[in-house]
Structure 1
Amino acid sequence: MSRPVIAIAGLGIESSTFSPARTEAPAFHPRRGADVLTRYPFLAPGQPLRAAADWRGALVGKALPGGTVTGPAYAELAAELLNRLGDLGPIDGLWYDIHGAMTVEDLDDAEAELLRRIREVVGPDVLVSTSMDLHGNVSRELVHQSDLITCYRMAPHEDAMETKERAARNLVDLLASGAPRPVKAWVPVPVLLAGEQTSTRIEPAKSVYAAVEEVEAGEGVTDAAIWVGYAWADEPRNRAAVVVTGPDPDAVSAGAERLARGFWEARHDFEFVAPTGTLDECLDAALASPARPYFISDTGDNPTAGGAGDVTWGLRQVLDRPEFKDPSGPTVLYASLPGPAAVETAVRAGVGATVTVTAGAEVDDRHAGPLTLTGVVHAIRHGDRDAEVEVVLRVGGVHVVLTRLRKPYHHEHDFTDLELDPRAADLVLVKIGYLEPELFAMAADWKMALTPGGVDQDLTRLGHRRVRRPLFPFDPAMPDPDLTARIVAPSAEPLTGPDE
């Protein structure tokens, strides 16, 4: 029997509608053709899954979380993706690798709409397996257009590649079996919480997500998934959801309802993954603590949740603290603040020079204006994929990382590449939410500062107006919802009724 032909396509980004930033096509760093396969170690030559099918890359683009995607950017990328799929010829399956929280100007439910257009190109008989981030959003339309659908089970996402491999393997197995399309049980859960409140490092999310594997292991079930949803966008689809797929309608329905009830019943128990406070409270605690290095998350402008990255409010508070003005005082690392002109000035001056530069608030100036600072150029680095150019400016005891373009700082080498030693620092402030694994392992202690920005952790003050209500926590006294499983029709059949 010949190997099935499987195409790979998708666009992925988290888009905060509460950020003034806009995302353009180059931010997706699209890979095309055979280069798509190099994204996935389990599809490397010699791997069993690579040999199980004829894999053909169309276009896969993944962007750093940011603002709403512009209409022209989406149109450009979608058109190329569809054209490349059409050029592949007949296919048996499609692996749709997305994030699930992409917001596009004047378009709701962008991933479902793109998949609908993909089906117009590849035809209704092609089997589609969709893989997602658990912070994506799952409308009934997206489930309708997919045959298999799954998401990460860990936050932070240490199982990201494992999830993608599961989605690809499930598709190969379904094609090889010749079995009918799976039954899909979908339950929307009217809860919308930030990822920092639903980390699987702690309860109740740890137990809520542990139940996913138990459901998946049941007879008649192929896959099970819980999506937390994406809290910083304002669309009707933004909420938690459960989908269970498999050949047995009773099994998938029972499993989906079990997972949905577990999530709903735990809604009041979700807490932030670390102690929180104002930035001043966090700084006071850090200075009073003997724990070193002490990490503080500047959460409101986290670029890996969709923040613009250039809010100056947090850094301004740090530099105003008298404890940090003396170079012989506590060593503080702050990552980071975009400032293209500031970076250019520092590069021209060179390491060791004293410069006065202005950076930040070019995109998001709602909370503080551009920040002028004078300091010594400590390090310069060229060639980063996201930042392009990085500069460290030492201002008193604070080592400020300035970038040409915004960049997340998740790894130890992000600092050591800039001649900074986070393990020897007193305080490390990072624009992030929950600490990524390397930072978490490094931190002797840690707090989350509830700071302003496009991904403000205080969801109720952001101003959601288009989400479906009632919705927890916006309506804390809402009645219990209908958590009955909805069996979603196959894509070849019409989808009727409201996307409730």
Structure 2
Amino acid sequence: MVSKRPIIAIAGLACETSGFTPSRTLAPAFHPLRGDEEIQGKYPFIRAGSPLGDAADWRGALIGHALPGGIVTRSAYEELADEIVQRLQAIVDGLPNHHLDGLWFDIHGAMCVEGIDDAEFDLLRRVRAVIGPDVIVSASMDLHGNVSRELAHQTDLITCYRTAPHVDVMETKERACRNLVNLLTQTSSDVSKPPRRPLKAWVPVPVLLPGEQTSTRLEPAKHIYEAVPEVEKWEGVLDAVIWVGYAWADEPRNRAAIVVTGWDQAAISKAAQHLAKLFWDAHRDFAFVAPTGSFAECLDAALKSSARPYFISDSGDNPTAGGSGDVSWGLTQLLARPEFQTEDGPTVIYASVPGPEAVQQAVEAGVGARVTVTAGAEVDNLHAGPITMTGKVHSIKDGDKHAEVEVVLQVGSVFAILTKLRKPYHLERDFTDLQLEPRKSNIVIVKIGYLEPELYDMAADWMLGLTPGGVDQDLERLGHHRIRRPMWPFEKEFEEQPDLSARIIPMSNVPLTGPDE
């Protein structure tokens, strides 16, 4: 029987990683948080004084959340995984009966590690070796994560975001913790309560799409995800989840998936199959969230339009989807356009290109100085080499969490943001802090896919540029060869309907048998 106030450990690693960029993710990129104070500081809903905080004894091991990027090196993973295991062992050893009640597994779900398929399952397998098979595990994930049969088996509760762009991150993590606490505080002696370990129905769906075609703002994803909370209300259902999957990695687990958790096998099977059918029935209807075109076509459209500011997504090198953020191709193409080569041309903001040496030169020269610098393509030079440009230092900012140092260089009518380290630009203050005025600019070009909420609200109009990079939106030209086939959109016709029947996953303390699906 679980004690009145269950003891719950917290651990996990999160990084959305592209397998199609030469960049690699190292251990410091995860910015690890360790121990109770640091981890509870990140999540207010488990602090003392909050309902969940007071309902359980939360023990922080280690969590790490890296900016999306290239594959995680094996040495980085081993370093962090070993520390998680050691810290969990210390927590267990320090308990009177050497037993945890629960674990919150705080992950993303699309982390690729050199030499390991299904990294999140591998990490949880290592964790289980310390905490044991009887500890209840609740995982929270991104909807762009991947849920293999093995990962579903090793968790007892598993949930993910229900919005893209993700405006329910904290809500999802809190739901994962609340479901866990609720499960643990039900006493095994009360026969009127459901069993401690719920049942899980899992359905893999042979669809692999980028987030830019599956935004929950628009149909068909809108009505599919709106069905999730409705299904959750069904009798016998505890939680229902749809994963789009992650399109820019190449592992057998990369595909859409449904998991419904609950107490009644017939109910969760019916619910999972219902959601899977909704997804599959709409697979031909998914389209990009905005008008698309080549980079040149996007620039032409922006120049012809009277809408200001006009946003363009340089989507192929989106650092929040796994791109290196280092591709110089877009800025090279932009500066080559004659329309922007004089200071009285249309005002353009370009965010961004890393260039540590260029940033250092600009900092040393100071605001107002004219400098010639070279930036970009230090990591990803598959599409263009480093770019050399001459311009005036417009502004300098020090101390950014991601970039560390940012510099704006005005070249003609283009205000190019150069960074010491790569950085995503999602907020209006990301620009205004650099003395830039995006609302008064003619064109704003951001390395992003679908526009994050503040940018979306700011844009008078926008286009999605189909540009090259590690998260190229044209999936078919990337070269996947390990994903399961057939898979939409790699196959346009299927000889037979996919098997969308629910697979009942055994409880985590019961061996998983039978062939992988």
Task: Find the partner of 1:359 among 350, 354, 375.
Answer: 375
Q: Is 1:118 matched with 2:127?
A: yes
- SS state at 2:237 partner: coil
Could you say which residue in structure 2 is the equivalent of 1:484? 501
Matched to 1:18, the amino acid is F
Higher mean C-alpha displacement, 176-185 vs 80-89: 176-185
Q: Quote the residue 2:191 is aligned against.
A: none
In structure 2, distance between residues paired with 1:343 and 1:127: 49
**Aligned amino acid, residue 155 of structure 1:** A
Within the alignment, does 1:419 sit opposite 2:422 as a pair? no
The secondary structure found in structure 1 opposite 2:125 is helix
Partner of 2:516 in structure 1?
499
Mapped to 2, the partners of 1:391 and 1:46 lie a distance apart of 42
Separation of aligned partners in 1, 2:480 and 2:367: 46
> Counterparts of 2:91 and 2:440 in 1: how far apart (Å)?
53
Q: 1:430-452, CA deviations, whole angstroms, 9 ceiling, x for partnerless residues? A: 00000000000100001000000
* SS class of match (2:349): strand
Query: In the alignment, what sits opposite 2:154?
Result: 145
Distance 1:308 1:117 in 2: 29
The match for 1:102 is 111
Is 1:173 the counterpart of 2:150? The answer is no
SS of 1:269's partner is coil
Deviation string for 1:257-312 (max 9, x for gaps)? Answer: 00001101100000001110011111111111111111000000000000011111
**What letter is aligned with 1:46?**
G
Q: Secondary structure at the match of 1:76?
A: helix
State whether residues 397 and 407 of structure 2, in contact with CA within 8 Å, keep that contact through their aligned partners in structure 1: yes
Matched letter for residue 351 of structure 1: V
Shift of the alpha carbon at 1:2?
2.9
Shift of 1:49: 1.1
Secondary structure, counterpart of 1:410 in structure 2: coil
Map 1:155-304; keep pairs closer than 5 Å: 155-178=164-187, 179-304=195-320
Cα offset, 1:497, TM superposition: 1.7
The residue type paired with residue 4 of structure 1 is: P
Instruction: Quote the residue 1:135 is aligned against.
Output: 144
CA positional deviation for 1:157: 0.3
State which of 9, 12, 17 in structure 1 corresponds to 2:11: 9
Match of 1:387 in 2: 403
3-state secondary structure, aligned to 1:335? strand
Structure 1 residue matching 2:185: 3-state secondary structure? helix
Answer yes or no: is 1:154 the counterpart of 2:157. Answer: no
Aligned AA for 2:396? I
CA apart distance, 1:37: 1.2
Shift of 1:177: 1.4
1:382 match: secondary structure: strand
Q: Shift in Å at residue 69 of structure 1?
A: 0.3
Structure 1 distance, partners of 2:196, 2:384, is 57
> Could you tell me which residue of structure 1 aligns to residue 73 of structure 2?
70
TM-score, structure 1 normalization:
0.99
- Distance in 2 of aligned mates of 1:3 and 1:480: 48
Distance in 1 (CA, whole Å) between partners of 2:172 and 2:381 is 38
Task: Report the residue type matching 2:492 in the other structure.
Answer: P
1:177 is paired with a residue of what secondary structure?
coil
SS in 2 for 1:150: strand
The Cα RMSD (Å) is 0.8
Tell me, in whole angstroms, the C-alpha distance in 2 between the residues paired with 1:456 and 1:289: 26
CA distance in 2, matches of 1:369, 1:130: 41
Q: TM-score, normalised by structure 2?
A: 0.96
Measured against aligned partners, the alpha-carbon deviations of 1:64-112 in whole angstroms (never above 9, x if no partner) come to 0000000000000000011111111231000001000000000000000
- CA distance in 2 between counterparts of 1:491 and 1:114 reads 15
Q: Which runs of 4+ in 1 moved over 4 A?
A: none
SS of structure 2 residue aligned to 1:492: coil
Q: Distance in 2 between matches of 1:499 and 1:207?
A: 31
| Aligned residue identity for 1:17 | G
Q: Name stretches of at least 5 consecutive residues in structure 2 with no aligned partner.
A: 93-98, 188-194
In 1, the alpha carbon distance for the partners of 2:69 and 2:347 equals 30
Q: Tell me, what secondary structure is at the counterpart of 2:284?
A: helix
The CA deviation at 1:429 is 0.1
Match of 2:32 in 1: 30
The residue that corresponds to 2:325 in the other structure is: 309
Distance in 1, Cα, partners of 2:343 & 2:233: 57
Gaps of 5+ in 1: none
Q: Deviations over 1:430-475 (max 9, x none)?
A: 0000000000010000100000000000000100000001111101
Partner of 1:348: 364
AA in 1 matched with 2:350: Y
Cα displacement string for residues 30-58 of structure 1 (whole angstroms, at most 9, x for unaligned residues): 00002111111212332111111001110
Q: Aligned with 2:137: secondary structure?
A: strand
Question: Are positions 1:472 and 2:485 aligned together?
Answer: no
Aligned equivalent of 1:335: 351
CA distance in 1, matches of 2:201, 2:394: 56
1:58 aligned partner: 61
Aligned sequence identity (%): 69
1:180 Cα shift?
Answer: 2.6
Within 2, Cα distance between the matches of 1:350 and 1:51?
52
Q: CA–CA distance in 2 between the matches of 1:47 and 1:294?
A: 43
SS at match of 1:408: coil
User: Which residue is equivalent to 1:87?
Assistant: 90
Query: 2:105, 2:139 within 8 Å by CA — same for their partners in 1?
Result: yes
Shift of 1:498: 2.1
